[in-house]
Amino acid sequence: MIGIKAVIRITKFDEVKDALKEIGIEYFTYYDVRGVSFQAEQKGIYRGNSIIDSTSAQKRVLDIMVPEIEAPDVIACISKSASTGTAGDGKIYTYPITSVVRIGS
Amino acid sequence: MIGIKAVIRITKFDEVKDALKEIGIEYFTYYDVRGVSFQAEQKGIYRGNSIIDSTSAQKRVLDIMVPEIEAPDVIACISKSASTGTAGDGKIYTYPITSVVRIGS
Amino acid sequence: MIGIKAVIRITKFDEVKDALKEIGIEYFTYYDVRGVSFQAEQKGIYRGNSIIDSTSAQKRVLDIMVPEIEAPDVIACISKSASTGTAGDGKIYTYPITSVVRIGS
Amino acid sequence: MDTLAVFQDSLAAQGYLTEETVTLTRTMVDSLMASNKTIAADLQALKLSAGQGTQDNQFKIDNLWMLVASALVFIMHLGFATLESGLSRAKNTINILFKNTVIPCIGLLTFALMGYGLMFPGFVAGTSMEFFGFAGFGIPLPENGETAAYNGKFTFWTDFLFQAMFAATCATIVSGAVAERVKLTAFLVFSFVYVMLVYPIIGSWKWGFGWLHTLGFYDFAGSTLVHSVGGCGALAGALLLGPRLGKFYKGRINPIPGHNVTSAVIGTFLLWLGWFGFNGGSVLSADPALVSKVILVTCLAAAAGGMSATLTIFTLSKNYDISMTLNGILSGLVAITAGADQMSPLDSIVIGTVGGVLVVVSVLVIDKMRIDDPVGAISVHLVNGIWGTLAVGLFGSLSGLPQLGAQLTGIVACNTTAFAAAFSIFFILKKSMGIRVDEEEEINGLDTYEHGIEAYPNFSLK
Amino acid sequence: MDTLAVFQDSLAAQGYLTEETVTLTRTMVDSLMASNKTIAADLQALKLSAGQGTQDNQFKIDNLWMLVASALVFIMHLGFATLESGLSRAKNTINILFKNTVIPCIGLLTFALMGYGLMFPGFVAGTSMEFFGFAGFGIPLPENGETAAYNGKFTFWTDFLFQAMFAATCATIVSGAVAERVKLTAFLVFSFVYVMLVYPIIGSWKWGFGWLHTLGFYDFAGSTLVHSVGGCGALAGALLLGPRLGKFYKGRINPIPGHNVTSAVIGTFLLWLGWFGFNGGSVLSADPALVSKVILVTCLAAAAGGMSATLTIFTLSKNYDISMTLNGILSGLVAITAGADQMSPLDSIVIGTVGGVLVVVSVLVIDKMRIDDPVGAISVHLVNGIWGTLAVGLFGSLSGLPQLGAQLTGIVACNTTAFAAAFSIFFILKKSMGIRVDEEEEINGLDTYEHGIEAYPNFSLK
Amino acid sequence: MDTLAVFQDSLAAQGYLTEETVTLTRTMVDSLMASNKTIAADLQALKLSAGQGTQDNQFKIDNLWMLVASALVFIMHLGFATLESGLSRAKNTINILFKNTVIPCIGLLTFALMGYGLMFPGFVAGTSMEFFGFAGFGIPLPENGETAAYNGKFTFWTDFLFQAMFAATCATIVSGAVAERVKLTAFLVFSFVYVMLVYPIIGSWKWGFGWLHTLGFYDFAGSTLVHSVGGCGALAGALLLGPRLGKFYKGRINPIPGHNVTSAVIGTFLLWLGWFGFNGGSVLSADPALVSKVILVTCLAAAAGGMSATLTIFTLSKNYDISMTLNGILSGLVAITAGADQMSPLDSIVIGTVGGVLVVVSVLVIDKMRIDDPVGAISVHLVNGIWGTLAVGLFGSLSGLPQLGAQLTGIVACNTTAFAAAFSIFFILKKSMGIRVDEEEEINGLDTYEHGIEAYPNFSLK
Ligand SMILES: Nc1ncnc2c1ncn2[C@@H]1O[C@H](COP(=O)(O)OP(=O)(O)O)[C@@H](O)[C@H]1O
Ligand SMILES: Nc1ncnc2c1ncn2[C@@H]1O[C@H](COP(=O)(O)OP(=O)(O)O)[C@@H](O)[C@H]1O
Ligand SMILES: Nc1ncnc2c1ncn2[C@@H]1O[C@H](COP(=O)(O)OP(=O)(O)O)[C@@H](O)[C@H]1O
């Protein structure tokens, strides 16, 4: 088993989800995070002053455990469906999973 | 050290927490995620139309770092206390931890 | 590549962020979690009764992928900037990353 | 009038005779008399028309105030909705809001159907010892119901509207105490019966000129008839439902804070605002002295209740617990309600202060008794409804032993009846359709089960 | 008056002659006559002064009620703001709140600038068949505009204020239907034109004594003139904008729940409260019979609408959908508005009940037609505006075929004109500056793009 | 009256003598005179009773309006609570709501205890040059205090209530500027002293007929006496507290947006609504011309302020900043307050427009001066309080150099006194108990430290 952690744009979520469904992924987990990139600067303006904040790009993390052999396909699928072609599309990491247990079993 | 990531039902959280306390776990971290399972379908109804959404099962992730030797006990403990016996109880993964530092030390 | 997962106090976030920026970290991801420590007890009082809750210490997790060689510096940097010197400052874990893909490439 | 005097003087002075006399013809005398008659008739007409004009205006003002007061009482329903949902968890928010939205609808419709006829059955004021009467279904316009002839102050429509706005309140009170675990349909059935039958029948004992009125029981705007009756329903419901899961967990009292203090504060202020009409309108006219005094003492009691509850809980638990401040304000309001027209400003401050202490102590005691009342409805409405009703015998213009006796009689009669009725209805519902949602629904929240969605589904996630 | 009778009797009995006679001097007779004259003059003066006093008071009461009603109508703008934003997603909250905050500002200012002159152009009541007139810019105080001489009931300032509060409402209605995707500047331009020109011109046909008034069309407080006109704008906007992204996704109707049901409930209650003044104030005096009846039937229709919508959606989808309950209440209110002074309580319950069914069915049908109306504005205001206007021909004191004909004429005339105007304005804006935000802005929410920040930026994270 | 004329004519025509004469007996003449007397007396009685009836009604209407106005001013406290907490961060929500809930309680009670006696010390209107007076503790009912004899318009109770509702406002204004860092207990002590002593003493200079009234200073409803006085407390507090952590970070101005724009919008609308009573009630009667004009110009100024602030900030920073729109509305309201009864609609639009520009510029300048005012209280209440007071000398019926001089005197006198007093109180508190929470509490939020829980504890997590 291998864990795939993809940091994507929230606005691309539905497309990625549909793409994953199509290649047969049955389950995954996601949660929202904030991505800090120190390039990013003006994030709004309030009462005449700019909000300069490097912390506020909202991203969504998809966490998917798949057999190692499926990983390249899944990564390719996400990489394609999550892309807008502009900076800030996100990254995909893999990390080792040493065991899986189904709760209750 | 090994990392244990348990995806459980939120409604089972208190029981799991108490069970972990009993077997001597001192710390753990948790956060809420949403589990996508493509079987799941109707998630509500609003203004006469069903909300068909495969994304909305709320789950809670427990992230626990334990010495490798304790891992099986912790896994068994969670597996037992988090189970309702019906589909959707969740899964427990382990992954390697290569180092731990206590902040400020 | 290696993954650094730092669990810090939310109130230390700005300092850690600035410190990371100074040592040249360009990106990181963060999200809020709750840290359970079974020592912690009274967490508030409502209508005359104490809220005894071991679940409510809010923490922030920083997730940073760096080349293995940079890891010690990053860890040291966080450990220093996130510290208040009192209990509850948090921990830093590292875990292996087996691959990184930039989305869209 | 001097000219007449001149006439008289000349008559007197001249012995009614002078040289240069004037002899009157019959026509002349007739026309003189006719003149007087015309003036007299004119005067009579003016008397009527001026009186009519004055009365029309007085009728207009009184009626207007009653309508404004009805609007103020109406907005109390929003107050209850936001207060109760604010003090409950987000997962049950829609459920509570839904209850508090349909209750005024149900209240208006059922009060039109039967409630009004039960509450005002036409008992003979001052002598009737009756417990029950029914004037009939619906709200047919009585003769002259739209004119000052109806009661000199407002129209029949106004009368009904003001009363109907009150009616739904007691079900709303119950709603808070049974929140987060009651089955919606069961609660709706309960509300329907309670508002349509129980509230008006008990109300008829006093406001419909029934036996309690005859005995001298005094309840100006409903500390007992509205608030205690609602509080009894709250108590019966909380007892039969049992506590929410986790409230009394492993022998401890486990506080379950609400989800939205902003909402709770909005609710409390709206209730206070509504009380301007609840008590001020219960004067049943725009009488300046009475209405202004009633509203003033109402506000002073609220302020005193808020401050005393704040200080009481601060003394006990060393924090400024805003939920207790809010409960304290409401307690002051409930407590002053029974005697708002009888109290001096100082009386009202005392009554409110005691109310504020009572509500805090009562919340703690009810918790200790393992009764789970998420919003403190029993402490606010039942306990302070009783206190306020008693206070009429202790303070203000009516105070004295005989009045205290009458007050006790009324308190015991109304509360036992209301509690027995509420308990019976809930009990029958429990045995038939069930009154409590199942455990899974309670844990996951009632909103997704009964209403299809959550209250804040698109709040934090985009 | 008996003394005069004595006088007459003695005259008669004594054949006008006795021994002991009194001879009057000229002075005496003069003073007697002067006395009578003084009394008569006094009487006349009193008649005037009493009449004046009565009239002053009546003027004061009527004027006061109209001001209170204006305040109630004013608060409807907050009702719309919270209802509409509550039924939309958090990411567009500021946008909706902003629109509903500036619209009353724009409404007041443009109605002062031109709207009032267009709405009340001085057509000759009862005979005018005019479609358009303009009394001039601004709001110069007419002679006697501050006294009872203005219209016997309230001052010119009151008149303007009450009308101006109404004016902004129709733009507010549109706001809900175009929510979450309309370009802010375009919408502001639309509102400006619609409130300043379209609304008052159509309004002048009836309330300005134009041709529809002459034809006998009846619209008491604006089911058509306010609500349908707003609803037409909503429909035109929704059609030209197209649905929100994801609403009709892959052939399915994809519900997009709002973010804050608490807010939506607050909005609905405030609207209901505001309707006390919207309908009650449209009596244009504090007439006790009429105002009380109007407010009562308004409340009954709201309650009936709320209950019937609740039951209708429950029948169809087996859940208690609070958004439909809220829409149902508003539907009852919109539907009763056209004939609120003509209906009996029973009529109003029927009208409200039908309104509640209509709104649910209409929401489902509009969804099926792939028109995206996030808050149900078309169903509430257009559909029920039509229903309420028709109902004047079917129920109540005016009902009958001729009235039905007049109602149909008015409905067709006003709605086609309003729709054509709204469509044209939106169409021109679409072709010139564009009316829809770009996709990225829509997905990320309008708030950060147009307003610089989110509505709840520091809500969940510290 | 024609019959008398007949009488006279016959007298004249016949030289007072004809053949067929009528000789009157004494009884006859007596009874004729008695008849006249009866009529005259009747007339007198009617004059009195009609006058009384008219006056009773006028008293009833005036009093009713003042009570309704008091209710409207009351709801401003909820407006302040929601506005201020909405513009602050979630972690300090309970703290702000708590302050704004107890302040009206404290205000009512302390104003009853001492404030009323200080504000209305019985100075001789028109000649007094006094700075200080005290009529005594408590609110004993003056003779005839409950009848029209009190002041011809409303009862003593109404008088006190309306004034007491105003009193708490100035502390509420301070609350916003010191938000998110002030120690709660210190702030409560400040409020207590400020409301009980400082506000009424300064108020007595004008409204208590003291020296400023004698000098001709004009402040209709309190641009200076209420808003500037509150604004001075805000400035003093903000200066002594220093900015919130992070507000001026590394030489930059770091905006700290609030947590809940919905709440802020609710607050602003409720404040606007309250101003119907704040200004409209300050007429101190229901005078149709005056009340309607006052409310109209109040609304126009608010609308103009909202639009001009919106456009000003848009010009400067290219976004529709809703917080500025809300501040602009309030600025228009504050600015029109001093001369609301003296301005034409056009004047009020100008005054509001300037107010809207001023508030935006002022917020930016105050930020630049490194003064941290989280909600813009200083810009809204102090700056526009000054502007509005000045405007009385520049626009409207009183404008002219002498008035401008009087206005300047009043502005300088009231503001320096208020600022000095507020600064002293805060300074003493700072040196004794401390006025600022410690850093950890500020970072984690005041709610969990002082109130035991957070405002939205069960909001997003189940
Ligand atoms: N080294 C890293 N460690 C942790 N998270 C990262 C890292 N690099 C990128 N991310 C996450 O991925 C998100 C998208 O970044 P990315 O797509 O790499 O930006 P860009 O397209 O400008 O290179 C970031 O906001 C951050 O959450
Ligand atoms: N392969 C996976 N990758 C990531 N998360 C998963 C995976 N499988 C399951 N999960 C998580 O565990 C949750 C529970 O799923 P599970 O209990 O396995 O369902 P079931 O009981 O129907 O098999 C899912 O909602 C998802 O969040
Ligand atoms: N073994 C563990 N597994 C998972 N999370 C942990 C573990 N130990 C600590 N944490 C996380 O780190 C946070 C800070 O804990 P820590 O700083 O170690 O407390 P202390 O300073 O009292 O030792 C905890 O709230 C928890 O979220």
Cβ of B77 closer than 6 Å to ligand 2, yes or no, is no
**Distance between CA atoms of E222 and E218, rounded to whole angstroms?**
9
User: Do D114 and D35 share a domain, yes or no?
Assistant: no
pLDDT for D462: 35
Give me D85's structure tokens. 């949902």
SS3 of chain F: helix, strand, coil, percent, to 5: 70, 0, 25
Query: Total domain count for chain E?
Result: 2
Helices E2-13 and D26-86: crossing angle, nearest 10°? 160
Whether residue F277 lies inside any domain: the answer is: yes
Distance, CA D254 to ligand 1 centroid (Å)? 42
Which band of pLDDT confidence, cut at 50, 70 and 90, is reported for residue A96?
Answer: very high
Return the amino acid letter for E302: A
By C-alpha distance, the chain B residue nearest E328 is B47
Atom of ligand 1 nearest to the CA of A39: 22
pLDDT for F448: 83
Q: Which residues in chain C come in under a pLDDT of 50?
A: none
Compute the C-alpha angle D90/D96/D97, nearest 5°: 95
User: Do F67 and F42 share a domain, yes or no?
Assistant: no
**Distance between CA atoms of D352 and D358, rounded to whole angstroms?**
10
Whether pLDDT at F1 is above 50: no
Structural domain range at position F311: 60-451
- The mean pLDDT value for E186-200 works out to 96
Instruction: Express each pLDDT in E124-150 by its tens digit.
Output: 999 999 999 999 999 999 999 999 999
Atom of ligand 2 nearest to the CA of B36: 25
Whether residue E117 lies inside any domain: the answer is: yes
pLDDT for F43: 85
Do D112 and D89 contact (CB within 8 A), yes or no? no
Q: Looking at CA atoms only, how far is residue D317 from chain C in angstroms?
A: 6
pLDDT for E46: 86
Using CB atoms, pick whichever of A34, A54, A94 lies closest to residue C98: A94
Whether residue D205 lies inside any domain: the answer is: yes
Q: How many CB atoms lie within 10 A of CB D122?
A: 15
**Distance between CA atoms of E456 and D458, rounded to whole angstroms?**
12
User: Do D346 and D272 share a domain, yes or no?
Assistant: yes
Residues with Cβ within 8 Å of E307's Cβ and at least 6 positions away in sequence, in order, are: D102, D105, D106, D109, E328, E353, E356
Give me E155's structure tokens. 């001052």
Whether residue D460 lies inside any domain: the answer is: no
Domain boundary among D29, D49, D69: D49
Q: F28 or F318, which is more confident?
A: F318
Whether residue D366 lies inside any domain: the answer is: yes
Return the amino acid letter for E332: G
Residues with Cβ within 8 Å of E292's Cβ and at least 6 positions away in sequence, in order, are: D63, D67, D146, D154, D155, D157, D158, D161
User: Do E28 and E74 share a domain, yes or no?
Assistant: no
In angstroms, the Cα distances linking D33 to C46, C69, E31, F126 are 87, 126, 15, 55
Which band of pLDDT confidence, cut at 50, 70 and 90, is reported for residue E462?
Answer: very low
Is B58 part of the contact surface with chain F (CB cutoff 8 Å)? yes
Do E317 and E296 contact (CB within 8 A), yes or no? no
Give me F237's structure tokens. 């507090």
By C-alpha distance, the chain E residue nearest A56 is E457
pLDDT for E13: 65
Instruction: Express each pLDDT in F332-382 by its tens digit.
Output: 999 999 999 999 999 999 999 999 999 999 999 999 999 999 999 999 999
User: Do F80 and F40 share a domain, yes or no?
Assistant: no
User: Do D315 and D389 share a domain, yes or no?
Assistant: yes
Whether pLDDT at F330 is above 70: yes
Whether pLDDT at E197 is above 90: yes
A2-9 and A90-96 beta bridge pairing = antiparallel
In angstroms, the Cα distances linking A36 to B29, C30, D46, F443 are 22, 8, 86, 21
E447 secondary structure, DSSP code: I
DSSP string, D30-87: HHHHHHHHHHHHHHHHHHHHHHHHHHHHHHHHHHHHHHHHHHHHHHHHHHHHHHHHHT
pLDDT for F462: 35
pLDDT for C87: 80
User: Do F330 and F411 share a domain, yes or no?
Assistant: yes
Do A46 and E453 count as a contact with CB atoms less than 8 A apart? Answer: yes
User: Do F165 and F277 share a domain, yes or no?
Assistant: yes
Tell the residue nearest (CA) to atom 19 of ligand 1.
A88
Query: What's the burial of D40, exposed, middle or buried (CB within 10 Å: 0-12/13-18/19+)?
Result: buried
Atom of ligand 2 nearest to the CA of A25: 1
Whether residue D459 lies inside any domain: the answer is: no
- Pick from E7, E96, E185 the residue to mutate for testing the F interface (most F CBs within 10 Å): E7
CATH number of the domain at E123, please: 1.10.3430.10
**Distance between CA atoms of F330 and F80, rounded to whole angstroms?**
11
Contacts by residues E445-449 (CB-CB < 8 Å, ≥ 24 positions apart): E445/D462, E445/E89, E445/E90, E445/E91, E445/E92, E446/E91, E446/E92, E446/E94, E446/E95, E446/E180, E446/E181, E446/E184, E447/E91, E447/E92, E447/E93, E447/E94, E447/E95, E448/A44, E448/E91
Is A57 part of the contact surface with chain B (CB cutoff 8 Å)? no
Given the structure tokens 């949902």, which residue do they identify? Answer: D85
Which band of pLDDT confidence, cut at 50, 70 and 90, is reported for residue E328?
Answer: very high
Instruction: Express each pLDDT in F218-253 by its tens digit.
Output: 999 999 999 999 999 999 999 999 999 989 977 888
Helices (H), F111-216: 116-119, 156-177, 184-193, 199-206, 211-215
Atom of ligand 2 nearest to the CA of B89: 17
**Distance between CA atoms of E449 and E452, rounded to whole angstroms?**
6
Q: How big is chain D, counted in residues?
A: 462
pTM of this structure? 0.93
Residue among B1, B5, B21, B27 whose CB has most ligand 3 atoms within 8 A, to mutate:
B27
pLDDT for D461: 39
Whether residue D279 lies inside any domain: the answer is: yes
Whether residue D85 lies inside any domain: the answer is: yes
Instruction: Express each pLDDT in E228-250 by its tens digit.
Output: 999 999 999 999 999 999 899 77
Domains annotated on chain C, with CATH: 2-96 (3.30.70.120)
User: Do E29 and E115 share a domain, yes or no?
Assistant: no
Is A14 part of the contact surface with chain D (CB cutoff 8 Å)? no
User: Do F131 and F12 share a domain, yes or no?
Assistant: no
pLDDT for D215: 96
Instruction: Express each pLDDT in B32-89 by its tens digit.
Output: 888 887 765 566 788 878 776 655 677 899 999 999 999 999 999 999 999 988 888 8
Tell the residue nearest (CA) to atom 17 of ligand 3.
C90
Instruction: Express each pLDDT in E60-89 by its tens digit.
Output: 999 999 999 999 999 999 999 999 999 999
Instruction: Express each pLDDT in F427-460 by its tens digit.
Output: 999 999 999 999 888 988 898 888 888 888 766 5
Bridge partners (DSSP) of residue C92 are: B101, C6
Compute the C-alpha angle F389/F390/F392, nearest 5°: 75
User: Do D133 and D103 share a domain, yes or no?
Assistant: yes
Given the structure tokens 């009912």, which residue do they identify? Answer: F141
Instruction: Express each pLDDT in A26-75 by its tens digit.
Output: 889 999 888 887 765 566 788 878 776 655 677 899 999 999 999 999 99
**Minimum mean pLDDT among D87-91, E9-13, E250-254: which range?**
E9-13
Q: Which residues in chain D come in under a pLDDT of 50?
A: 1, 19, 461-462
**Distance between CA atoms of A77 and A64, rounded to whole angstroms?**
13
User: Do E191 and E309 share a domain, yes or no?
Assistant: yes
CB < 8 Å to F82, chain D: 262, 265-266
Whether pLDDT at E308 is above 80: yes
Residues with Cβ within 8 Å of F240's Cβ and at least 6 positions away in sequence, in order, are: F423, F426, F427, F430, F435
- The mean pLDDT value for F200-208 works out to 97
Is C46 part of the contact surface with chain F (CB cutoff 8 Å)? yes
